[in-house]
Structure 1
């Protein structure tokens, strides 16, 4: 398993180096104007420089705070609702049309409406993040409940356990890996919405505001791409942490057992 992880990490690093070299070569060769595509080395150097800028780090912190709050609210809403829909078919059938109507609606399209209702502050950003992050967790929870072990449920019922006990002891435990996967997906969605909301709305503070303001600077492309690099690194770190947590918390999943055997 460790050898496989090292191989995957090596291939990932190779892919990053190839992409870095291609961007560097295209810019240095003059195939694209440097005002549009600065050399990758200059972008990375600027990203590292921003790591020592307290004002920039405050902006990143503001984005992460909105991201964390929105994701936490999404979990608090989606998991109980998903358990209800997954365990009570009548309720699921009653609200399915409403859920399918709301799910495809892009969160960024709701910025003007939510801004009118909540104002141009952190509340609007958190509301939009929550709305976008709810759906992967909700549907993964419902799917996890549907995939719970029937024999275990029947066994508990045979010993006189009620519906609540079956839900908590079997269905919730069986759905937990699916819920964790939904949270990992929603974490990426929430980060995208956090940056996009700041970028498109133009209010508040955060990484998206930095990117939006950098477009107006003389050397704007370099700062814009440096901000994008920071967003990508944050997403990579968050995903890595959540994947590691999944592996530690749910070692009994089929995918995890297959990885251990290999």
Structure 2
């Protein structure tokens, strides 16, 4: 009779340690994106310094970040950021005020959804940028045009998830609510809305990015004050380092807004199975 063999399980490889199975060094999950970004910046620095790309149009990444540091201490930069955020916030707010009740109505009343579906399917694919000439003619070149374009683009990103969230409500839960005599408003308040909130949260995060894109696009094309207008001004002044610095700042602004919406979503939807699994 052979004695039972015991196997020792490899110890858990913590962050920054070696993998227990292969013995190779392993990066923590949070460090991998940072290493990737650092590698891309290093590559951009090399191709510019070595002359692969003309420095007149593609300055080294180090010069871009030096220009970005100069912009951060410039009060006019923060004025431009505030102007962009004003257009973004106003457009997104209008989209929420319109898309949520309309989506609830269309998702709750199938006959109404069937009646307006051709209009929705016709308007939704229209690129908001294609409306810029019409907006300039009808509204002008002021901040209202930026708000309209941001609201129009964000509206569809919110409307469709709300409709599908309402329509995806468990029919058994609806019937249970009716059996307990909750009434139409009670079913909407306690059953339909909680079922649609995860869809709304995802749509809101996507609509936020879309509204920012359209706000900056309006500033670039129409000339509305903001980060897009500052980028255009740097381009026309022949300052590519400042232009790329403002582009980086715009990207960081979008990344920060997306991270903020994700944090709020995790906090509000901590009860949802997907977020419980992520926490676990």
TM-score (norm 2): 0.88
Larger radius of gyration between Structure 1 and Structure 2: 2
1:192-203 to 2 correspondence within 5 Å? 192-202=213-223
Instruction: Please state which structure has a larger fraction of its residues in helix.
Output: 1
Residues 148-184 of structure 1 deviation map (CA, whole Å, 9 limit, x = unaligned): 2322211110112222221121111111111011000
Q: Which residue of 2 aligns with 1:174?
A: 195
Q: Does 1:41 align with 2:62?
A: yes
**Structure 1: gaps of 5 or more residues:** none
Q: Does 1:211 align with 2:208?
A: no
RMSD: 1.5
Q: Which residue of 2 aligns with 1:242?
A: 261
Q: Which portions of structure 1, spanning 4 or more consecutive aligned residues, are displaced by more than 4 angstroms?
A: none
Q: Which residue of 2 aligns with 1:17?
A: 38
1:111-260 to 2 correspondence within 5 Å? 111-202=132-223, 204-218=224-238, 220-260=239-279
Q: For residue 215 of structure 1, give the secondary structure of its aligned residue in structure 2.
A: helix
Q: How many residues align?
A: 256
Quote the Cα distance in structure 1 between the aligned partners of 2:31 and 2:118: 46
**Structure 2: gaps of 5 or more residues:** 1-13, 16-26
Residues 119-168 of structure 1 deviation map (CA, whole Å, 9 limit, x = unaligned): 21111110010000011111111111122232221111011222222112
Higher relative contact order (CA 8 A, sep 6+): 1
Q: For residue 30 of structure 2, give the secondary structure of its aligned residue in structure 1.
A: helix
Quote the Cα distance in structure 2 between the aligned partners of 1:253 and 1:7: 27
